[in-house]
Structure 1
Amino acid sequence: MALYDFITAVAATYERRLDSDGHRILATAPDTLDPLLPAGYIVRSGGGKGRATLTPWFAVLDPDETSTPQDGMYVVYIFSADLRQVTLLLGQGATRLSDDRGWSVARERLLSDASTLRGALGSAVDDLQDSFELGDRGKRALSYMAGGIVSKTYEVGALPDDSVLERDLARFMSLYVRARIERSNHAQLDPGSIVLPARPLVPSELAFAPKSDEDYLVSIRGVEAVARSRRHETIVRELGEILEARGHEAGTNVHPIDLEVLALERRWMIEVKVVRNGDARAAVREAIGQLFEYRYFLRRDQPVTLTAAFSEPVGDAYVQLLQELGIEAIWKSRPRWEGTPDARFNLLA
């Protein structure tokens, strides 16, 4: 279901009972949003537990940041209580903070951080709202409003077409990445300017210097297990499921290789990379180094097709570089996975 159709269907069918058609449609939010997102994000939705909420929502979460809208930063669509409006919001979770410190303290902290981050985003958000209304004065609705960094409200009866909705979503996803960077920068350079703790953007550096093949095999298992991020593992799982659905045999149990696939009597070694903050160069460099390293230590006596998988497109120049080095490439390109001709035909077809 397209985003326009999804929003209008929820607004038309949502009722304040948990067995309504609107609740069932909300549960299909991943089917609508996944094709519009880079790989590795997770989609959640909610209409209440135990009793229906006045303000249903569906959200996009970076699993390296949070797995729930109760905590951390995320992008969310929230319907107003009368279902006549839906607001696209870059927001902060309040539930856990409120449980720990009380609602009054949580609200002040959310407002403070939202203001700081809005200022850090500067002119990039000048045309966006810094506040919105949901028509509900309950604590959950008030926490959404307090934690809102920037937002854009649509009238459900006058929604723009899908091209505009998708462009706005892509913009908010970019702001999501930038806001996390700004939060981390402020926390380090101006302690106290950000009250809520920043999540680490990249794994910590780990010492690793094996003396032999055997030492390599022992050491790399521990290093890789710690260094992999939640978003990385989400992509590995998603890609593995796609490949198995196409009739290939995919395994994630050959550490430290992300995915090893048997397809059309060929063995494919796949290294998955998250393109962080748009830095395709870093992702490509890491993929090249790791694929050659793993082949040398783990598969030097076996024919294997090296393949790099990226959370988003890395550009034609880097794809050509990979092919020059004998490495195939695949990447998430909305709404599907794409790749070099060999990989596309043999893995993704």
Structure 2
Amino acid sequence: MAETGVRIVRIWLLIALRELGDAAPRQAVHQAVETLFGDQFTADDLAPRRGRPGAEPAWRNNLDSLYDRLKKEGICLPSTRAQPWRLSPAGSMEASALPNLGAETLKQDGRFSPKSSSPYTANIAAAVQVKLREHEALLADYGRAAASIGWLPVTTVHPRDLELSRAGDRWLAEVKMIYGTRVTSAVREALAQLLAYRYFFYKGVPDPGLLAIFSEDPGGDNVGLLQSVGIASVWRRGSGWNGCSAATAAGLAPPATP
């Protein structure tokens, strides 16, 4: 079986850092990931990575590489080798939307606290998988709908969710699921990620338009908040999509399918 994909590893890392108080030494972060998600490692995750000292398993190398990438994205704060790994405000927002473990699940060294037990790993891993599937399904649905009205959707732009292009226009899109009352956090995460991604990935080129895609209507005030900083928004409505005035004017709200 292949190594675990970067989207899943990203979720593991963000949850681990969140549960460690948004900052912890590298060793503690690695231990937290192993404690929480070790039963999800594939055989290739556990295999030694060629060229790494001490027969270090691939998942540790992948975690380190991802951390370096997240620093460039602004999701983690800059650090030297000896300093703790730290989430930025944008990273904290993204991590806050991921499945919760419950109070005092981990000790500061990344191991389970005496009040916790192994069933947490299965429950959290299952919740991560469900959220990822729902996210990917919404992304795929919107991509197909946008393609039907002439947009070219590109999803191979990780960690960004989606780029759309048509007739010289380019938009950067971020997908957010709204779960229950977690509307505000979804909106804030979309806002922070879109601004960060535009800053870090589009230096020296024309800025793309920014689009937040939601699983349901985020509400008028949140739509207004996003528009106030130049972010358009669309959301699923029946078999079609509704959107703010900017998204509708740009042709980013595909109609319902027959």
TM (normalized to structure 2)? 0.49
Structure possessing the higher radius of gyration over alpha carbons? 1
TM-score when normalising by structure 1: 0.37
